[in-house]
Amino acid sequence: MVSNTASTANEAIVADRFAVDLMAPLPELDTAGGYAFAARDVVDPRQKVYGLIQRLDVPRRDVVVSKLKSRLVKGVLCPRGEGIVTASTGDGQGQRLCTIVEFPAGGRLIDGEHFSAFSERTLRQEILPQLARTLSDLHDIDITHRSLTLHDLYYRDRERSELVLGECFSAPPGVHLSSAQEPIERALALPAGRGIGDPACDMFALGTLIMSLYLGRDVTQNGSISFLEQRIQLGSFVASGGTHDGTGPINDLLRGLLDDNAEKRWTADDVSNWAEGLTIRKGTMSDLGWALNRPLSFQGRNFKDRRLLALAFANAPREAIEFSQTERFRHWITNGLAEGLSEDWLKRALDSRQFKAGHADDAGEEAMALGRLMAVFFPEGPIIFGPLRFMPDGFVSLLTVSFADNDQEAQALVRDLIGRGRLDMLLDILSGRSPSLRASTTKFAGLSAMANNPALGFGLERCLYELNKSLPCVSPKVEMSYVDSLSKLAAALDGAAGRGEPVMTMIDAHVAAYLCRQSSSFETLLSRLGAAAGQSEAYTMEMVRILGSLQERYYPQGLKNLAKGILPALKKLVEPLHSKTRRRQLGQLITRYIEEGNIFAIANTINFTAIKKHDERDFENVRRQISLIDRERRRLEQPIGPDDARARLTGYRYAFYLACTVMGVFATSSLFQLLM
C-alpha cells in the first residue's frame, strides 16, 4: 500500500512506514538502474534504510526482489518495501517505483582507488567466511548476484563487524562488472548483454575480488582484447596476477576460483571449507575441447585454441568471412575441431553461399556470416551480430537497454536479427553445439512474426514488453506516470491530455504495444486504427472505440481530459450532417457525455457510421422530392401559346369529355320523354 502523504515537505511515505527524502540524494549508492535517496523507517528508527528510485525504462530483477522478500539473505542488502513516489531524478520527473533497501551504516570496505593489501589470515578468518555464506544462501534460492565488485562490499553496522554485499536487483545482471571479472566465455559480451549467468559466474567474480584484496591493487580494470587473449593463453589465474609456481593455501583458493573450466571452478561451499582449513581436491585449468585437432593459420598466426581463433575472427570480421569461403578452410574444418562435428551439420551451420565481403546484397549478411563462425568456434561465448555481442540469457537486457538509451543503431540491428529469423538460426546452431541451450531458447519463439508484423501494437516494441513482463509503459506520452496496468494507463493518458498532449496522437508504438501485451483483445482495434491513418473520420471513430473500450474494462471513472481532447474531432464528424435537428440533438448528446468524461458511452451509443448513412439517405429523399416539385413548378410557370402541342392535345381531350357528357345528358333526356 502506498501513501501519498509525507512526513515533511521533502519526504514521501512508502509502504506506510518509510519516509524517503527526495531532496537528499545518495549518489554513492546509485546504480545503472536507479537513483539512491536518504530514507528512514518511521516505525522502527533503529532500522537503517535508503530509497532506490528505479529508472522508468530499466526494469528491476523482480524475481530476485520477490525471492529476497520471502527469504531474507543476511549477507546482502535486501529490499524492505516498495511504492510509487513522485520525484525528479536523472531520467526525468514523474512517478517512479521506489524500493526501500537496507542501508550499510558502516560504509564501504574499500573506499577509493588505493588500498592496502589484506593478509591471508584476514581473508580466511574475516572476509571469505561471510562472503561464501552469503553467496551460498543466494545460490540456494537460485539467485546470482552478478555485481560483485570491490566497491560493492559494505559493512552493515557502524562497528564494521558484519560484511555485506550490495543489492543485486536494480540493474541488468553483469552491467557493473568489468570484462576482467567475467569468465572468458562472457567477457566478450557487451555489459548489458552479459546475462544472468550461473553461480560459477559469481565465484569467478569473487576470485578477482579476493585477488585484488590480497595483492592490494584492483586487478579487474584491464578489459582490453589483448588481456582477454592473455587469459586464454595463460589462464585467468596467471593473467590476473597469479604465478605458475605459486604455492600455499591462498594460491589454491585463487586457482580454484579463477579456473576457466566452470565445471571445476570452486563453489561457495568449497570456499567455506577452505576457510575452515579443509583441503579442496579438484582438478584445475583443464581443457574443455578448446584445443584444435590441427592448428589453423589465419592472418599470419597459427592457432591451436578455438577461442583464440574466434577472437581473431571477431577482430577482423571481413577477413574472417573471406577466409571461411576458401577451399583450404572448408577442407580443414571437417576434421579440425576436436568435437568431431559432422560434415553435413557444419555445412548447414556455416552456410555455403558465397559473397565478397563488403559487397553482400544484405547489410546483415556479413554480420550473419561472422555470427555463424563464432557460434561454431566459440559456442560458449556471446552471439555476435555486427557490433551486438550478447549471451543468450542477456538478450532481453540488451534489448531493454537499447530502448532505455534510445540507441537507434542497436534497435535496428536487433530488428534485423529478429525480423529475418537470424536469431533463431544462431540459437539453433548454438543448441546443436550446446544441448543445454535448447530449453532456454523457447522464450524467443514467435519473436520473428511479432517483430515483422506491421500492425499497430506489434513490432520491436511489442517484443520489448513480451520479454519484460514487469516493464511499465515507457512511452514518452506517459513518462510522468508509472504505468504498470491498463487502469493506470487510462489515468496516465487522461493526465497527459490535461497537460496539452494531443489526444489523436496519444497512441504511439509503445502505448499500442503495451495495450496488446496486457490484453490481446486490443489487437483488432489497434489494427483498424492503424489502417485508418490518413482518414480523419475513420481514425476518430477508431480512436473513440479504443479509448471507450479501455475505459469500460479498466477505468470505470470519468476521463474528462481525454473526452475534451477528442471533442474537436467529434465536432468535425457532426458538422457535415445535413439535418439541423440531427446536428443539434447529436451535439447535445455528445456534450453531455464529454462533460461526464464518458468516452465509452460515446463509442457504445453513438454509431456515427449509421447516423451518417441515415442522414445521407434522408437528405437524398428530400433532395429527390424537391427536384420533382421544382420540375413541376417550372413546367407550370411556362407560358402556353395556341400552337402548343401539349395544350392542343389537352384541349381536344377535355372537348371530347365535354361532348360525351352533353350527348349523355341529351340521350338521357330523350329516353325520359319517351317513357313519359
pLDDT in tens, 288-307: 678 888 899 999 999 999 99
SS3 642: coil
Q: What is the largest CA-CA distance in the chain?
A: 163
Between 652 and 396, the more confident residue is 396
CA 578 from chain centre, in angstroms, equals 49
- CA atoms within 13 Å, Cβ hemisphere of 559: 32
Alpha carbons 275 and 45: distance in angstroms, whole number: 36
Nearest CA to 475 out of 498, 496, 499, 450 is that of 496
How many residues can be counted in the chain?
676
Mean pLDDT of all residues in 244-272: 87
Lowest mean pLDDT among 172-186, 251-265, 426-440: 426-440
Between 573 and 547, the more confident residue is 547
Cβ(309)–Cβ(292) under 8 Å? yes
pLDDT above 60 for 193: yes
Q: How far is CA 499 from CA 477, 494, 536, 561, 569, in A?
A: 10, 9, 23, 9, 18
Lowest mean pLDDT among 67-71, 627-631, 653-657, 669-673: 669-673
Alpha carbons 501 and 231: distance in angstroms, whole number: 55
CB proximity list for 640: less than 8 A, separation 6 or greater? 647
Which of 255-259, 352-356, 360-364 is modeled with the greatest confidence?
Answer: 255-259
Q: How far is CA 497 from CA 163, 357, 518, in A?
A: 50, 51, 22
CB proximity list for 303: less than 8 A, separation 6 or greater? 292, 295, 296, 297, 309, 312
SS3 390: strand
User: According to the model, what pLDDT value does residue 361 have?
Assistant: 53
pLDDT band with cut points at 50, 70 and 90 for residue 4: very low
User: According to the model, what pLDDT value does residue 619 have?
Assistant: 84
Nearest CA to 55 out of 170, 176, 139 is that of 170
pLDDT band with cut points at 50, 70 and 90 for residue 606: confident
Cβ(104)–Cβ(156) under 8 Å? yes
Alpha carbons 467 and 470: distance in angstroms, whole number: 9
SS3 538: helix
User: Looking up cell 524492505, which residue turns up?
Assistant: 80
pLDDT in tens, 112-148: 889 999 999 999 999 999 999 999 999 999 999 999 9
pLDDT above 90 for 615: no
Mean pLDDT of all residues in 549-562: 95
Q: What is the DSSP letter of 42?
A: S
Mean pLDDT of all residues in 26-43: 96
Alpha carbons 571 and 577: distance in angstroms, whole number: 10
SS3 164: strand
pLDDT band with cut points at 50, 70 and 90 for residue 648: confident
User: According to the model, what pLDDT value does residue 219 have?
Assistant: 93
Mean pLDDT of all residues in 329-346: 77
User: Looking up cell 593478509, which residue turns up?
Assistant: 119
Which of 288-302, 330-344, 435-449 is modeled with the greatest confidence?
Answer: 288-302
Nearest CA to 403 out of 414, 394, 392 is that of 414
pLDDT above 80 for 644: no
Alpha carbons 670 and 672: distance in angstroms, whole number: 5
pLDDT in tens, 69-90: 999 999 999 999 999 999 998 8
Mean pLDDT of all residues in 357-386: 83
Between 339 and 263, the more confident residue is 263
pLDDT above 80 for 230: yes
Nearest CA to 189 out of 174, 201, 199 is that of 174
Amino acid in the structure at residue 667: A
Cβ(19)–Cβ(7) under 8 Å? yes
| Averaged pLDDT score across all residues of the chain | 89
SS3 382: coil
pLDDT above 80 for 39: yes
User: According to the model, what pLDDT value does residue 285 have?
Assistant: 46
User: According to the model, what pLDDT value does residue 439 have?
Assistant: 60
Mean pLDDT of all residues in 420-446: 77
User: According to the model, what pLDDT value does residue 110 have?
Assistant: 94
Q: What is the DSSP string of 450-515?
A: HHH--STT-SHHHHHHHH-TTPPP--GGGTTS---SHHHHHHHHHHHHHTT--GGG---HHHHHHH
Over 568-604, what HEC string results? HHHHHHHCCCCCHHHHHHHHHHHHHHHHHCCHHHHHH
Grid cell listed for 280: 579442496
